[in-house]
Amino acid sequence: DTAVSQTPKYLVTQMGNDKSIKCEQNLGHDTMYWYKQDSKKFLKIMFSYNNKELIINETVPNRFSPKSPDKAHLNLHINSLELGDSAVYFCASSLGGDRAFKNIQYFGAGTRLSVL
């Protein structure tokens, strides 16, 4: 049973297309995240949701829109894809709460997006 699963694993698409990445966690966590890892392996947070509520929205183009239908799911929709969007996108989850700084984030396997 995969704790944090994201689909698809690979996504190859043309510039200008719209695509979605889905993420589900079965850990009972309250908080879910999207990260982007660029070609230099730098990992940067994009969004986080706590119990379906948007908590963090970093400086990300508004072509990226997260959606959390329930606390176990966090999807990422990307409109009008650009070459610079090519990266690995990771979903993660953790417990929330007052002691959140102690909580481990568990990651999905990543989605490698290639925009041609």
Partner 1 sequence: AQKITQTQPGMFVQEKEAVTLDCTYDTSDPSYGLFWYKQPSSGEMIFLIYQGSYDQQNATEGRYSLNFQKARKSANLVISASQLGDSAMYFCAMREVSYDKVIFGPGTSLSVIP
Q: Does 13 bind partner 1 (CB under 8 A)?
A: no
Q: Binding partner 1 by CB under 8 A: which of 11, 92, 113, 115?
A: 92
Q: Does 52 bind partner 1 (CB under 8 A)?
A: no
Taking the complex as a whole, the smallest distance from the CB of residue 73 to partner 1 amounts, in Å, to: 19
Task: Give 101's contacts (C-beta < 8 A, 6+ positions apart).
Answer: none
Q: Does 11 bind partner 1 (CB under 8 A)?
A: no
* Residue (15 or 56) nearer to partner 1, CB: 56
For 91-102, letters b (16+ CB in 10 Å) and e give bbbbebeeeeee
Q: Does 45 bind partner 1 (CB under 8 A)?
A: yes
Report the C-alpha gap between 50 and 63 in whole angstroms.
Answer: 21
Report the C-alpha gap between 93 and 50 in whole angstroms.
Answer: 10
CB 52 within 8 A of CB 105: no
Report the C-alpha gap between 60 and 14 in whole angstroms.
Answer: 20
Q: Does 44 bind partner 1 (CB under 8 A)?
A: yes
Residues that bind partner 1 (CB under 8 A): 31, 33, 40-45, 48, 50, 55-56, 88, 90, 92, 100-107, 109-110, 112
